[in-house]
Structure 1
Amino acid sequence: MALGHRARAVIGSIAAASALGALMAGCSIDSPQAAEGATPEVEAQAELRALLPGELRGEATRITVGTESGYPPFEYTNEAGRIVGFEIDLFDAASDRLGLKYTFHDTLFDSLLGELYANNVDVIAAAMSDTAERQVDYDFVDYYNDSDAIMVPAGNPGGITTLADLCGLTVAVLTGSTQDEALAGLNVAECQAAPVEVLRFDTDADALAQVQEGNADAELTQWSTGAYNARQVGSGDVFEVANAEVINPSPLGFVFLKGDVELVRAYQAALQSLIDDGTYADILAQHELSAGALERATINGQ
């Protein structure tokens, strides 16, 4: 159970054995979840901790963080069953700066906003795009700029280079993602004569597998995840990113329930402090993601 929007409880430590169950949707594991490699050491700052809601300043207090641990390089589960990745390192650092501990709730991407709305989690860290539609009910602390990637088999046998090239083809996608919405919009705007057949899956890995298995001509995903998979899967000769142009650029952010003003501002200030002292740049460089760096930590893109 999460700490809730206004009435937050204290969550005890999770046994080490629970971490091994992180691959199962809906389980929770304890933080910190540092990624492999040397991550910068971050000290708490009293003036930033003072920005937290009063009930979160107790030493034993934890918040619950919703994630979906199948989306490298942002978050994924390593061989030891620990959730690691760029966004996890960054959220760890921001939380350390606030002196705030947390527990993960690992579940399906498509259920995360509902879990936050129901107060089952207090924040989402899941490479979620900051969109105007989502801002109606949620607030974003933006930490990265990304765009979309069209994933195809290595060699790009279909000659796909643009979104319009997907008309009449079968394309796999993560259910509930902005890429899912983009394909729906593409069918209305450009593919009415030959609609895209959209195959939706609970994880990005399952969607990408359809391309390898020949069930889909392409997958639409985020650029950073697509580029990571193109490098990492096999010997880097299984997939490639088909598009050279930027598609659907948008910021990604940590997601909070609309109205949780103190917690939002605390994380914005913590993230800005990491930008200012160079920790943010170090974490980006460690994950080879410097191209998407932000100069300012914004709320809802403002």
Structure 2
Amino acid sequence: MALGHRTRAIVGSLAAVTALGALLTGCSTDSTQAAEDSDQAVEVDENLRALLPGELRAESARITVGTESGYPPFEYTNEAGRIVGFEIDLFDAASDRLGLKYTFHDMPFDSLLDELYASNVDAVAAAMSDTAERRVDSDFVDYYNDSDAIMVPAGNPAGIKTLKDLCGRTVAVLTESTQDEALAALNTGECKAKPVTVTRFDTDADALAQVQAGKADAELTQWSTGAYNAKQVGSGDIFEVANTEVINPSPLGWVFPTGDVEMVRAYQAALQSIIDDGTYAEILEKHDLSVGALEKATVNGQ
């Protein structure tokens, strides 16, 4: 997809994490899941509910939300086969504040925006980076700040620390991801004389497996996912995040079709409400993601 992708990650529950191979399976990509009651006690705010389009204020109203459940800690499949994670908890809380029910459709990440544009889903909650290119046809309600991670074998035998250190090396990446775009930019810039050999894969799990197999020197992925996998894969001694400097910072957001003003405004207001009452901070702390917290719920980075 020309609009680009966020990175994928290894799938699996925390309890089941024993090795990379054990994490490469998850729920079916064509599965659906209705939202359950979240752990957070979030009451409906009728003033915020009134911001929704009229047809979505009925008790029976339900929207369809596209996701891809292979991206811990944002979304992943637990041992019971449920899609869980930081973004799921956050979207639950915002939806509860609006009194709006929804159903997840789990699908390949590279189909999510197409499904949104075709009106087959009403929104996307998939740790998607809010970029200028995507804003051409979408509006983002931003909920988190993240950046990129250079994943290397534990011990960092090649001594990689920065993007420039990737020049002349083999780097695995998700096809057409924003990280893929970053590597392409390196090859026309700092690495022009000694380009990166970029190997592209359909999932972040496949890309990361190349590092473990010694077929790639590194993988470029999203920082929160890289840090999660560095801690959880195996006994936390298979991978590490090589960079200590922030690389390519970017907000992540829930995605709505351009022009769906009422939905965007409603979810922005609901997110701001759970920021203000402390629910947002509790969810961040639960998932050890407080480092990327926002103080204001923004739309399209503004």
Normalised to the residue count of structure 2, the TM-score between the two structures is: 0.89
Q: Which residue of 2 aligns with 1:121?
A: 121
1:51, 1:262 within 8 Å by CA — same for their partners in 2? yes
- 2:275 corresponds to which letter in structure 1? I
1:28 aligns with 2:37: no
Q: Which residue of 2 aligns with 1:194?
A: 194
Q: Which residue of 2 aligns with 1:294?
A: 294
- 2:293 corresponds to which letter in structure 1? A
Q: Which residue of 1 aligns with 2:84?
A: 84
Report the 3-state secondary structure (helix = DSSP H, G, I; strand = E; otherwise coil) of the residue aligned with 1:115: helix
Cα distance between partner residues in 2 of 1:224 and 1:22 = 19
- Per-residue deviation, residues 133-167 of structure 1 (Å, max 9, x unmatched): 11111100000011100000000011100001111
1:171, 1:218 within 8 Å by CA — same for their partners in 2? yes
Q: CA RMSD in A?
A: 1.3
1:242-253 pair list within 5 angstroms:
242-253=242-253
Q: Which residue of 1 aligns with 2:98?
A: 98
Q: Which residue of 2 aligns with 1:207?
A: 207
Report the 3-state secondary structure (helix = DSSP H, G, I; strand = E; otherwise coil) of the residue aligned with 2:192: coil
Cα distance between partner residues in 2 of 1:103 and 1:168 = 45
2:95, 2:101 within 8 Å by CA — same for their partners in 1? yes
- 1:59 corresponds to which letter in structure 2? E
1:113-262 pair list within 5 angstroms:
113-262=113-262
- Per-residue deviation, residues 204-259 of structure 1 (Å, max 9, x unmatched): 22211111111211111111110011111111111000001000001000011110
1:33, 1:89 within 8 Å by CA — same for their partners in 2? no
Report the 3-state secondary structure (helix = DSSP H, G, I; strand = E; otherwise coil) of the residue aligned with 2:248: coil
1:147, 1:247 within 8 Å by CA — same for their partners in 2? yes
How far residue 32 of structure 1 moved from its aligned partner, in angstroms, is 2.4
Report the 3-state secondary structure (helix = DSSP H, G, I; strand = E; otherwise coil) of the residue aligned with 1:264: helix
1:262-301 pair list within 5 angstroms:
262-301=262-301
How far residue 23 of structure 1 moved from its aligned partner, in angstroms, is 1.3
From the superposition, tell whether residues 201 and 33 of structure 1 become closer, same or farther in structure 2 (CA, over 3 Å).
Answer: farther
- Per-residue deviation, residues 52-108 of structure 1 (Å, max 9, x unmatched): 001111211211111110000000011111000000000000000000111111111
Cα distance between partner residues in 1 of 2:187 and 2:117 = 30
1:151, 1:221 within 8 Å by CA — same for their partners in 2? yes
- 2:249 corresponds to which letter in structure 1? P
Report the 3-state secondary structure (helix = DSSP H, G, I; strand = E; otherwise coil) of the residue aligned with 1:70: coil
From the superposition, tell whether residues 175 and 182 of structure 1 become closer, same or farther in structure 2 (CA, over 3 Å).
Answer: same
- 1:47 corresponds to which letter in structure 2? N
Report the 3-state secondary structure (helix = DSSP H, G, I; strand = E; otherwise coil) of the residue aligned with 1:144: strand
- 1:166 corresponds to which letter in structure 2? L
Provide structure 1 residue ranges, at least 5 long, that are not aligned to the other structure: 1-20
Report the 3-state secondary structure (helix = DSSP H, G, I; strand = E; otherwise coil) of the residue aligned with 1:139: strand
Cα distance between partner residues in 2 of 1:172 and 1:297 = 33
Cα distance between partner residues in 2 of 1:120 and 1:173 = 28
Report the 3-state secondary structure (helix = DSSP H, G, I; strand = E; otherwise coil) of the residue aligned with 2:298: coil
More displaced, 72-81 or 176-185?
176-185
2:174, 2:207 within 8 Å by CA — same for their partners in 1? yes
How far residue 202 of structure 1 moved from its aligned partner, in angstroms, is 2.2
- 1:31 corresponds to which letter in structure 2? A
- 2:29 corresponds to which letter in structure 1? A
Cα distance between partner residues in 1 of 2:197 and 2:115 = 29
- 2:289 corresponds to which letter in structure 1? L
Provide structure 2 residue ranges, at least 5 long, that are not aligned to the other structure: 1-24
Cα distance between partner residues in 1 of 2:135 and 2:37 = 28
Cα distance between partner residues in 2 of 1:22 and 1:237 = 23
Q: Which residue of 1 aligns with 2:109?
A: 109
Cα distance between partner residues in 1 of 2:188 and 2:209 = 26
